[in-house]
Structure 1
Amino acid sequence: MRSKIVTADEAIALIRDGDTLASTGFVGTGFAEALLVALERRFLATGAPRNLTLFAGAGQGDGHEMGLNHLGHEGLLRRVVAGHWARMPKVGNLALGNRIQAYNLPQGIICQLFRDLAGGKPGTFSKVGLHTFVDPRYGGGRVNAGTTKDIVQLVEVDGEEWLFYKVGRVNVAFIRGSTADTFGNITMEREALTLSNLAMAMATKNSNGIVIAQVERIAERGSLPPRQVKVPGILVDCIVLAPPEQHRQTVATAYNPAYAGEFRVPQASVVSAPLDERKIIARRAAFELPPNGIINLGIGMPEGVAAVAHEERISHLLTLTVESGVIGGIPSSGGDFGTGINMDAVIDENQQFDFYDGGGLDMACLGMAECDAAGNVNVSRFGGRLTGAGGFINISQNARLVVFVSTFTGAGLEIAVEGGQLRILREGRQRKFRVQVEQVTFNGQYAYDRGKPVYYVTERCVFRRVRGGLALIEVAPGIDIDRDILPHMEFRPIIGEVGVMDPRIFSADPMNLEAELLNLSLPERVSYDAERNILFLNFEGMYVRVAEDVQAIWTICEQRCRAAGRRVGVVINYDRFRINEEMYDAYAEMDRYFLEHYFTRITRYATSAFLRAKLGEAFTQRDIAPHVFERREEAQAFLATLGQDGEG
């Protein structure tokens, strides 16, 4: 049998004009640099192969010369279907110059297409991309005027809208591993990620194509532990032994054994970052972290949330994930983004997106380039730049809670924090809150219609998507709405009662987030006045996220009532109180239980008219007396006017 071990040039010689090439890699990790260099070398020397179609999920490269940038030559590519474009600006320039056909599809969809093509399916059905620029009603993911063919269709199944993605077959796959035996069995023990290598190899093999694997070591056949084999040799046609400089673990790191999961590294010491605009934003976003939640943090500014969690010593309460397949541990940043240390697991990229698309994420914190009055967000194409959506659409559309983070303005913003007050020293030249975003990567109305909580956090204020559009809900201390916010927006947001961002955010001291997230302060929030026989519940600033939060309130209240030894009247402070809408029924059931067994009546108050209306509506729908007073004195006075029966 012909040996599968060949040189890079011998392998590349098998690629024909017009072939479809699938390439592995995630940002700066796991791309087959030696194969891409050899393909470029052959094209520059011979002018062949020509008119290839490139099929790539994540961005691959250093953003300059490496990775898919080797393919940025006119004539080499005819069509590109990619999830992310920023890492291959040379190819992006061909698309912007209308010199190739170009599509931007969600990264997760492309990864899942490999798997579906492997299974002989005609394409992929998904709701991911509905009401974004990928939806055929809004462009179908086409990047330029020269791209006219529709590869995304809007279909209806059982009365619901779906998107059907159909791309075609794969003729050549560039995959990558650590060790190959002479038959082509591939292990990945030194790789940081497994990505979609197996699905790509299957899709290509079942399309009667050629699978070329780049590795750094060769072993004798039969010597590799079968459970470590990630791609079996039956799928591999060619093995290329890459030189070390073309088989780096990431663009930033030649090899880190911790990225390969060889061992766990000690937790780094807590180093407090300066209180600049990025840390302010990350601190405010951290207030939304769900205890014991599964979270995705985007690249760039969202990475600061992990640093805040580390500083606040709450990392153990969270499971951070990356769309590359990393679950748990500490995600890496910069040129190592996509990798991690001390992980719980590393799974294939397409499986990670299956989990995300099915609603597995409790929260996503993502960057934001532009936002408009409808709460739409653009990260994919703006200011003449073609960035691409990457996994943003999969993640933002399906996470249970989404927090977008960005400075309020860009390009030159300077701020200072003095005495707990935020001051704008110099305003940024770039406006981010636009009348209409250039491209809809996230649809605010679609999210609202599906009941998804969406926050937009900046250093000076916080918005939320509500009925009717974007509402201003919080302002930093020291910030004036008419001076520091409205003049720098191209639209006027909905403005009702606006709260103040938590003052702890603007202090150099730790914020004690563990007590905040776990409601550890509950015993201090519940007090009993024996003389007046009133139980006071101070729920100011509390966020009831999950059933465990309701149970914690239930437990402490029952303890206090049993200690009192008689039925009690109750006064509840709901200022800045928030509750996950999925918890309303459990919360109402708790109210009913205590009214039946322990409370004579409940009176409530909140200074926010918006919150009074919202709570009143929720209580009414659940057959509980809805009235919420404006001030504590009114609530207590009303309690005193009633007899021992009834509820207020």
Structure 2
Amino acid sequence: MVISLDASDLALEIPNGSTIALVGFGGMGQCDKILKAIGQCYKETGKPNNLTVFHTAGQSDKSNGIEHIAEEGLITRIIGGHWGLAPKISRLIEENKIECHCWPQGQLTHLLRAMANKLPGQISPIGLGTFVDPRIEGGKINKRTKEKKDIIQVLSINHEDFLLYPSIPFDYVFIRGTSIDENGNMTTEEEPLKLEILSAAHAAKAYGGKVIAQVKYLANKQSFHPKDVVVPGYLVDAFVLVDDPETEHRQVPSTVYSPVFSGDIRTPSKSLATLPMDIRKVIGRRAVQELIPSAVVNLGIGIPGDVIGPITNEEGFNQDMTLTLESGIIGGIPIGANEFGIARNADAILDHEYLFDYYHGVGIDITFMGAAEVDKFGNVNVSKFGKRTVGCGGFIDITQSAKKVVFCTTFTSAGLEVSIENGKINIHREGNIKKFTNQVQQITFSGNYAADHYKDVIYVTERAVFILTQEGLVLTETALGIDIERDILNQMEFRPIISSDLKEMDTRIFLEQTMSRQMIRN
């Protein structure tokens, strides 16, 4: 029979200097009871300390998950993909209190499978030409980390470059499910995502690590349908049973449990509110004009995740394509903001790492992504702004492999004020920050790599559209009423190529009424 542990006893048994692996996605799937206990134990006893923490996706919605152990001295090193919603961890990174390595999220999920097979690491071209390439920054985020040796290596195989993301043996991995039986078999029926819990358990076992499960319910042995078991009992060393799901095991940040997010009921699509006509909707509407019928589509966090799904639902052509989210969601209407990664009415919910197989191997037809900075080479930064550390998440994996990339961003930021009236956009106040800059602070998307591989790359804003060529960025469209010199060129730190066939952006994207289904490209 599997062992039941109290979370505080588990925290006391973790040796100093251990490597622990966490599984979660944003505000979903974290083992909050376990992590709270570890954080509290450290505050009271000073132990465990000097931990290395490994995780794939972001692990917080600003208050839960990894934030419970965000203490100087408790963590010495972190290897992960994203900290945009983990302010305490971000502060430790920015103040050089911990060593920080940022690797692409998909590579981290696939590294778990490489470790499960006792391989030296994950080999992939993903990351070449970006900040994770050791010839650029090596994924080392702060000064403290840059003083260390490179962990990622460049390999040449058949005269082609690849990156080796090395195996990181775990002492513990914490996985979360809904129910566990007396033999340790675990199910995920109330969870909104499957994530990479099975691969993480295999990876830990390959190196003699312990697998600890956090669950809501204990069931009799042999009471589960065998197809419902996600992690078999022989992989689980012990489990922690939650006392208060409200604070220790919320399904998503907004609710303890909803059958909508676990896929147990579907809601009428017409019940969803229409998006307001604002700058984000304008950008999203122009972006969806790049869709083609039957496309397999990925949505990134930010403007894409917040508006593309609702827009395609409003326009009635969300059934003409397959929407995906990197968390494993197929179909449905995505939920954005701090619940990015889940959806209403999903058609399927896959394991996290298996959707990245498709992203890396086949490459989706089109991805919609945000952009914080764009430079004259077409490079895009979404991972670091000034001293603020965000991380790349799955951005590098997806944009480097996709057949077409559409970046969605406002033209300037920090104070931009606009109104949308009568089919045109009016700029009342420019933002204080120019997003089109001479050189991005960090290369999360390599324009040179994309141009060399003839990628189809488009940059959509509320007032202008650009495409990437081997010669640089080309301005191809402007909005009605926009003065090119005043509103575009003067708001950039470099001068783009201006197309000889410069067009006006379709005025229908600025109108309240829905657009025509003919807007999708054939």
1:279 CA drift (Å):
1.2
Which position in structure 2 is the counterpart of 1:72? Answer: 70
Give CA deviations for 1:507-549 in whole Å, capped at 9, x if unaligned.
Answer: 222220x2232xxxxxxxxxxxxxxxxxxxxxxxxx55xxxxx
1:330 counterpart (333, 337, 345): 333
How large is the Cα RMSD of the aligned pairs? Answer: 1.3
Q: Secondary structure at the match of 2:477?
A: strand
1:87 counterpart (77, 85, 93): 85
Code of the residue aligned with 2:511 in structure 1: it is S
Which position in structure 2 is the counterpart of 1:138? Answer: 136
Counterpart CA distance in 2 for 1:274 and 1:267 is 17
Code of the residue aligned with 1:510 in structure 2: it is T
Code of the residue aligned with 1:113 in structure 2: it is L
2:374 counterpart (371, 375, 379): 371
1:350 CA drift (Å):
0.9
When structure 1 is superposed on structure 2, of 286-295 and 86-95 the one drifting more is: 86-95
* 2:8 counterpart of 1:4: no
1:475 CA drift (Å):
0.3
Counterpart CA distance in 1 for 2:233 and 2:272 is 46
**1:11, 1:238 within 8 Å by CA — same for their partners in 2?**
no
Counterpart CA distance in 2 for 1:420 and 1:196 is 46
**2:27, 2:64 within 8 Å by CA — same for their partners in 1?**
no
1:334 CA drift (Å):
2.5
Counterpart CA distance in 2 for 1:196 and 1:273 is 33
Which position in structure 2 is the counterpart of 1:502? Answer: 506
1:368 CA drift (Å):
0.4
* 2:334 counterpart of 1:360: no
1:418 counterpart (403, 411, 421): 421
Code of the residue aligned with 1:482 in structure 2: it is E
What are structure 1's unaligned runs of at least 5 residues?
518-542, 545-648
Over the matched positions of the two proteins, sequence identity in percent amounts to 46
Residues 476-495 of structure 1: matches in 2 within 5 Å? 476-495=479-498
Counterpart CA distance in 1 for 2:474 and 2:297 is 25
Give CA deviations for 1:116-167 in whole Å, capped at 9, x if unaligned.
Answer: 1011111000111000000000011001222212111111111111111104
Give CA deviations for 1:313-353 in whole Å, capped at 9, x if unaligned.
Answer: 11111211111111111222223221122222111111111
**1:180, 1:186 within 8 Å by CA — same for their partners in 2?**
yes
1:383 CA drift (Å):
2.5
Code of the residue aligned with 1:367 in structure 2: it is G
Code of the residue aligned with 1:334 in structure 2: it is A
Q: Cα distance 1:23–1:234, how it changes in 2: closer, same or farther (>3 A)? A: same
**1:294, 1:360 within 8 Å by CA — same for their partners in 2?**
no
1:384 CA drift (Å):
1.9
Q: Secondary structure at the match of 2:474?
A: strand
Q: Cα distance 1:251–1:273, how it changes in 2: closer, same or farther (>3 A)? A: closer
**2:474, 2:497 within 8 Å by CA — same for their partners in 1?**
yes
1:262 CA drift (Å):
1.2
Code of the residue aligned with 1:127 in structure 2: it is P
Counterpart CA distance in 1 for 2:123 and 2:181 is 37
Residues 218-237 of structure 1: matches in 2 within 5 Å? 218-237=218-237
Which position in structure 2 is the counterpart of 1:106? Answer: 104
1:271 CA drift (Å):
4.5
Q: Secondary structure at the match of 2:482?
A: coil
Residues 601-620 of structure 1: matches in 2 within 5 Å? none
Q: Secondary structure at the match of 1:423?
A: strand
Which position in structure 2 is the counterpart of 1:192? Answer: 192
**2:383, 2:391 within 8 Å by CA — same for their partners in 1?**
yes
**2:421, 2:511 within 8 Å by CA — same for their partners in 1?**
no
TM-score (norm 2): 0.97
Residues 364-403 of structure 1: matches in 2 within 5 Å? 364-403=367-406
1:231 CA drift (Å):
0.4
Which position in structure 2 is the counterpart of 1:238? Answer: 238
Which position in structure 2 is the counterpart of 1:129? Answer: 127
TM-score (norm 1): 0.78
1:270 CA drift (Å):
6.3
Q: Secondary structure at the match of 1:321?
A: strand
Higher relative contact order (CA 8 A, sep 6+): 2
Code of the residue aligned with 1:422 in structure 2: it is I
Q: Cα distance 1:455–1:124, how it changes in 2: closer, same or farther (>3 A)? A: same
Counterpart CA distance in 1 for 2:33 and 2:285 is 42
Q: Secondary structure at the match of 1:194?
A: coil
Q: Cα distance 1:6–1:418, how it changes in 2: closer, same or farther (>3 A)? A: closer
2:444 counterpart (438, 441, 445): 441
Counterpart CA distance in 2 for 1:62 and 1:222 is 36
Q: Cα distance 1:331–1:271, how it changes in 2: closer, same or farther (>3 A)? A: closer
2:252 counterpart (250, 253, 263): 250
* 2:41 counterpart of 1:42: yes
**2:114, 2:167 within 8 Å by CA — same for their partners in 1?**
no
Counterpart CA distance in 1 for 2:285 and 2:519 is 13
**2:153, 2:165 within 8 Å by CA — same for their partners in 1?**
yes
1:261 CA drift (Å):
1.4
Which position in structure 2 is the counterpart of 1:57? Answer: 56
Code of the residue aligned with 1:508 in structure 2: it is E
Counterpart CA distance in 2 for 1:507 and 1:100 is 49
What are structure 2's unaligned runs of at least 5 residues?
none
Q: Secondary structure at the match of 1:374?
A: coil
Give CA deviations for 1:31-62 in whole Å, capped at 9, x if unaligned.
Answer: 11001001111111110111110001111112
Code of the residue aligned with 2:81 in structure 1: it is G
Counterpart CA distance in 2 for 1:46 and 1:492 is 58
